[in-house]
Structure 1
Amino acid sequence: MIDLQAVLTAQRAAFIGELPVSIATRKDRLKRAAAMISDHAEAFCDALSEDFGHRSREQSMLTDIAASVAPIRHAIKSVDSWAQRSKRPVQFPLGLLGAKAWVEYQPKGVVGVIAPWNFPVNLVMAPLAGIFAAGNRAMVKTSEFTPRVAALFEEVAGTYFAADELAFVSGGPEVGKAFASLPFDHLIFTGATSVGKHILHAAADNLVPVTLELGGKSPVIVGKGADLKQATERVALGKMLNAGQICLAPDYMLVEAGDEAAVVDGLRSAATAMYPTLLSNPDYTSVVNDRHFQRLTDLIDDARAKGANVEVVNPGNEDFGASNARKMPLHIVTEVTDDMAVMQEEIFGPVLPVRRYAGIEDAIAQVNRRDRPLGLYYFGGDAGERRRVLDRTIAGGVTLDDVIFHISMEELPFGGVGPSGMGAYHGRDGFMTFSHAKAVYKQARFDVAKLAGLKPPYGKATMASVKRQMG
């Protein structure tokens, strides 16, 4: 196994030796990062498809190639303004005497990145946009479930970066455990909540600040005045993208009882229009591995056994049982109850429970009795109801009248809350996450301590200062 501590030590020494990290150097690293992906886009798409069994090339270009380059380009354009010092006011009367205060944004040092398998290029490169913009160096632990992508990163990175700028590490749980235990200056992990707990424990021993991008059950509320055709088409698109293997995928839908049949019809029609066949359809991605496929199958079987209705959207009447392609059609699950595993676990696949609610307060209550989700989606034309949902639910982020899209808005912070994560990145927020906001105070040339009564012997000036501060 690679000597992780040696890599970290070399990166930290190079970082310290380079300080201060110029904006030109940061932009250069960002440009090289973008080139690393752009120059090898086809190879990354091939590797992604190999790792998944099949993955749509166009989808990979959208979600892993373009979505990696775009935040880097945004950072290149924005880093000059992000990095400017922030002037802060000074309390009376120090400002009048010439004292000044400001915040400078310094790089933290070496940032560790633990990336997941579902978007194994984008969820390496999007954090790197903020990491490099802030002036840091980085070590990346890739997912063992996408070994070809991991190997390609290790193969090409050396052409663009010295190992003391950017290093890639691959391996299984033991490597991951050792990586998470390193004394980084910051650590960002994207993945399952269950694993995130272990990451946080490991980082705590070194008091490493951690950003956790986790997941959870992101709900869709179909409210008053919603365009059901549009809503179901957008939900189906978000649910079937990457075969539902998205941390922000709509996890379950909440609909008024009177809308349930129309919602199910809309989902069926939308899925059929986008994917008239699935097994040989190049646009539809496979479930990543046998273990995950079996987990999804078990969720469906458990729901059926406990009384749910499961509709398989299979417009081509294909024989999925005879295929080893791990292609899974959309499963719409109704009559869902809380004791079903499909309502207890993050689904992470093309399985969509549809639940009824009686009034918006009931829908809000159904959301609030679960862990706080990474995303929440509301469709509806009633401004008061929409405001009610925004005010009375807590989620990492919200998309109104669509799903997932808030993650692609580069100047919105992306992150979870509670079990769906902690901290945020993207755009300026990512720059701030990976920077140290250093307070700087410049004292006035006068004897401020004497004027303020801070010097013994204490007297009238001291009590005047106390009175002024207590207002």
Structure 2
Amino acid sequence: MSAVPIHAATSSDAIRLELEEVLKLQRAAYFAHPYPTFAERKADLLKLKAFIKDNRDAIVDAISADYGNRSRHETLFAEIFSVVDGVEHTLKHLKTWMKPQRRGVDIKNFFGAKNRVVPQPLGIVGAIVPWNFPINLSFSGLIAAFAAGNRSMVKMSENSRHLAKLLIEKSPKYFPRDKLAFFDETGGVGIEFSKLKFDHILFTGSGLTGRAVMAAAAPNLCPVTLELGGKSPAIICDDYPLRKAAERVLFVKYFNAGQICTTIDHIYIPEDKVKEFTEMSKGIVTERYPHLSSPDFTSMIDDRSFNRVVGAMEEAQERGATLVQLIPGRQWDAATRKIAPHIVLNAPADCALRTREIFGPVLPIIPYKKIEDPVQAINDGPRPLALYPFSNDKALVHHLLTHVMSGGVSVNDGLFHVGQHDLPFGGVGDSGMGHYHGYEGFVTFSKMRPVFYQAPFSAVKFLWPPYGKFATKYLDFLTK
């Protein structure tokens, strides 16, 4: 078996022992073979690709079952394709990434010596995966970890039960459990998982849970990569075509019903264009999702998330905000956990929609008079995971990039910097730390090991004690 189901009835001690058993198994396998060859890593990456392609339809169905309804096309685009494409990108570059890097030498003291940086596997990578893009976020980490020559244990979300069952059932065909093990979350698994002595932990989720994971990893001095989300803003500048901006913004915002850590959480629009943007949004979104029951429109993941977003909408409305429903019919349906796409106008600055990550199909519009207004507003809050400026003015875009810090940026669109395999992905400040994807993922899960090769003759011998006149003159020469 390469995946381990943990039953709900097991105690925390039993869970810990089971996790530690698999970690011990993987650790022994690592020490027995600490440096997989390029051919072995290539084979592992091709197995990841085969895993996804062989089980494509079952994966799509399992994720949809976990959501209640998840657009098939969204899963194929954002989960299946992204993983397959990520493997292909990595295979094109892996041989180069694995090569030792030449570094400069101080020839005054070390003439004839050599410096190299040698990428080597860390060992065992633990991954804690959220429910919103469970294949993308688990396998993207696995691509980087396996490319770097590591082994991995992956804990799935409690909201990914159907998918976790599938991964646990199918993975033995592709990997032994001393290489890869999946775990279901049945209660208490995440806590014990975070305490394991991994060589690196990759966590994607909320800031609150991320802090707990980091605290649990601290006694082991285990490094962590945290991708924590946040309220990522878009800024439509006055020069940018409004309809083009609306078409792009609305696609990103309502993709997966807004349940994306890097989605456009809210948008700043010049105050004289808010009405026009709102009106054109109705036609754009209705063409894409004619009614709430459209199979292309995804459900909220669970009742708690549905109730949280609906409650935040009702709170804003009670406090004077205007809810603009963008498609005809019901505002929401508790039975299917679907919430119609909405724009929100005049939401109070301290309401939940403005202060908490929305993670739903609701887009607050914040009007502004001058570009300094959104810059100041964003900088007054936690640093976001992403920033989305819309402008064809290169000087203005440069100003926004240099005056607003974020984890990543897409200019004149939203979200798609995350899909670029040759760009690092990660947050900053409250939105996370560290990077993965592409080469940066390879580096994150490698020990970039410095190696110094001394020359046959070393001038340092003239500095051995007892120190004489030559040593004094030479050190005076170096330091004056």
* TM-score bracket, shorter-length normalisation: over 0.9
Output the amino acid matched with 2:321.
A
Show the counterpart of 1:262: 276
Of residues 211, 228, 241, the one that matches 1:197 is 211
Cα RMSD of the aligned pairs, angstroms, is 1.4
Does 2:471 correspond to 1:462? yes
Change (3 A) 1:101 1:175: same
- Map of 1:166-177 to 2, 5 A cutoff? 166-177=180-191
Aligned with residue 123 of structure 1, among 121, 137, 148: 137
1:140 is paired with a residue of what secondary structure?
strand
5 Å-filtered alignment, 1:33-432, equals 33-95=48-110, 97-279=111-293, 281-315=294-328, 317-318=329-330, 320-321=332-333, 324-432=335-443
Instruction: Note the alpha carbon deviations across 1:336-364, whole angstroms, 9 max, x for none.
Output: 22211111100001011100122111110
13-22 or 429-438: bigger deviation: 13-22
Distance 1:379 1:159, change over 3 A: same
Determine the structure 1 residue equivalent to 2:34. Answer: 19
1:399 partner letter: S
Deviation of 1:389 (Å): 0.3
Q: Residues 398-423 of structure 1: CA distance to partner in whole angstroms, max 9, x if unpaired?
A: 00000000000000000000110100
Give the secondary-structure state (helix, strand or coil) at the position aligned to 1:205.
Answer: helix
Change (3 A) 1:343 1:319: closer
Which runs of 5 or more residues in structure 1 are unaligned? none
How many aligned residue pairs are there? 465
- Paired letter, 1:216: G
**1:309 and 1:333 in contact (8 A); partners too:** yes
Change (3 A) 1:346 1:444: same
Asked whether the 8 Å contact 1:228–1:266 carries over to 2, the reply is no
Q: What percentage of residue pairs aligned between the two structures are identical?
A: 41
Contact 1:224-1:381 within 8 A present in 2 as well: no
Deviation of the 1:459 alpha carbon: 3.2
Amino acid at match of 2:371: I
Q: Distance in 2 between matches of 1:160 and 1:257?
A: 55
Residue number in structure 1 paired with 2:3: none
C-alpha contact (below 8 Å) 1:224/1:385 kept by paired residues: no
Return the alpha-carbon distance in structure 1 between the equivalents of residues 331 and 448 of structure 2: 58
Q: Quick one: distance in 1 between partners of 2:397 and 2:371?
A: 10
| Distance change >3 Å, CA 274–CA 461, structure 1 → 2 | farther
**Distance in 1 between residues matched to 2:300 and 2:40, nearest whole Å:** 40
Distance 1:48 1:459, change over 3 A: same
Q: TM-score, normalised by structure 2?
A: 0.94
Measured after TM superposition, the shift of residue 146 of structure 1 is: 1.2
- With over 3 angstroms needed to count, the CA separation of the structure-2 counterparts of 1:319 and 1:301, relative to structure 1, is closer
Provide Cα deviations, 1:260-284, integer angstroms capped at 9, x if missing partner. Answer: 11221232222112111221x1111
Matched to 1:406, the amino acid is H
Distance 1:122 1:188 in 2: 13
The amino acid of 1:332's aligned partner reads I
- Cα shift at 1:390: 0.4
Could you tell me which amino acid in structure 2 is paired with residue 288 of structure 1? I
Contact 2:421–2:437 (8 Å) recurs in 1:
yes
Scaled by the length of structure 1, what TM-score is found? 0.96
Query: 1: distance between equivalents of 2:202 and 2:389?
Result: 29
Distance 1:243 1:58 in 2: 13
User: What runs of 5+ residues in structure 2 fail to find an aligned partner?
Assistant: 1-5, 7-14
Deviations 1:243-271 (A, max 9, x none): 10000110000111111112212322221
